[in-house]
Amino acid sequence: MTIRSAIVLAAGEGQRLRPLTTNRPKPMLSAGPKPILEHVFDELIDAGVTDITVVVGYQRNRVQSHFGPTYRNVPLTYVTQDKQLGSGHALLAAEPAADAPTLVVYGDQLIDERLIRDVTVSHESALATLGLVQRSDVAEYGGVLVDDGRVTDIVENPHDDRDYRLNAGVYTFEPEIFDVVRNTSPRAGEHSLVDALSAALEDGATLRGVVSEGVWVDATYPWDLLEIADGLLDTNGGESQIAHSASVHDDATIVDPVVVEPDCVIGPGAVVGPNVCLGENVTVASNAVVDHSVVEADTRVCANATLVDCVTGRGVHVGPGSTVVGGPGDVAVGARIHRNEGLGAVLADRVRDEGGVTYRPGTIVGADAVVRAGSTVGGTIENETEVRA
């Protein structure tokens, strides 16, 4: 089936990605180094979509001001989810845009054209077609059981040993899905799209599932941004992309693959790569090292500093001789401790360290924090905190 319209759900905050989402919604976080949402739009358009409705909410102006009314000559229609009351509630906000079978995707997951095409081409004689991917462990996500292309069960965070496929959050829906969502009782005050699909299945509706070999990476936690960047660099065939306006000193070393955006400066003796994304106007000063990191725009990495397994926000200042030693580390996200994750540190927007700072593996530093010279930092530092040696 040929489907030309898509609804992109991009209203969420992404609390488990704080403090990176303090000043922007989760879909606008950087990956490779464009916002995740921009990659989603690219793949939709490459798959033949010619009309996109975007559901926005938290920090919606960040989305609308970045993209405007069109993207790559495809019109963008914005609708607002005033309160973040679940994925089903977000979908209902876009109901006026869907009077025919419509593709629905999340704006905070890395997907590719192949996955999108598999879901649209396979859709027929069903309320919904779900895009599925093969993963050895689906306990953190949604599991789907399929028998000869028909969905037989949908389970959130399954922990039994049945042969689940992972729900990739890429759907083709018939217009009747809106009534199904409306008639499904909310849980904990939220209307869940998955709950609506489960209810429809129990009522005898036909749901189809297609297992795709396409790309799917979810940005749930800060270290996922490194994985997304890795996936995007892999799609470039391992080749580096260095903007013409970037300045790379003859004595600097670039270790493929990297992405270096316009107006970056890489100084003498600096080593950048592998698997590094530098946003616009980033400076990596003399003898600094940046390895396996996503560094957002307007950040300065001063002389002799080292970043390994690091994610930064915009406008960060890493002082001379400071070191993010790299993962694995234990990372606190809310009330949960994630053990041995591949994260050196997160430095949120406008963090400023004065130099000679050491960041223990798994450190998260909030926006506008100041880290005084010579400090050793670990754990979680709240926004606007001053850390003294």
CA separation for the pair 254, 241 (Å, rounded): 11
Q: Which of 152, 187, 220 is the last residue of a domain?
A: 220
Map residue 182 onto helix, strand or coil.
helix
Among 232-236, 237-241, 305-309, the range of highest mean pLDDT: 305-309
How big is the CA angle at 141 (ends 149 and 2), to the nearest 5 degrees? 40
What is the mean pLDDT of the segment spanning 285-291? 97
Whether residue 276 sits in one domain with residue 161: no
Q: Which of 220, 250, 281 is the last residue of a domain?
A: 220
DSSP per residue, 363-383 = EEE-TT-EE-TT-EE-SEE-T
CA atoms within 13 A on the CB side of 311: 32
End-to-end CA distance of the chain: 62
Q: What is the percentage of the chain residues whose pLDDT exceeds 70?
A: 99
Domain that holds residue 119: 5-220
CATH code (residue 289): 2.160.10.10
DSSP per residue, 185-211 = PPBTTB--HHHHHHHHHHTT--EEEEE
Structural domain count, the chain: 2
Whether residue 215 sits in one domain with residue 259: no
Whether residue 343 sits in one domain with residue 286: yes
Which pLDDT band holds residue 294 (cuts at 50, 70, 90)? very high
State the pLDDT at residue 1. 63
Q: What is the percentage of the chain residues whose pLDDT exceeds 90?
A: 59
Among 91-100, 153-162, 296-305, the range of highest mean pLDDT: 296-305
Q: What is the DSSP letter of 43?
A: H
Beta-strand pair 376-377/352-353: unpaired
* 229 in a structural domain: no
Q: Answer yes or no: is pLDDT of 31 > 90.
A: no
Whether residue 279 sits in one domain with residue 167: no
What is the mean pLDDT of the segment spanning 230-258? 88
What is the mean pLDDT of the segment spanning 336-365? 94
Task: State the DSSP H helix or E strand holding residue 267, giving kind and residue range, or none if neither.
Answer: none
Which pLDDT band holds residue 333 (cuts at 50, 70, 90)? confident
Q: Answer yes or no: is pLDDT of 334 > 80.
A: no
Whether residue 184 sits in one domain with residue 104: yes
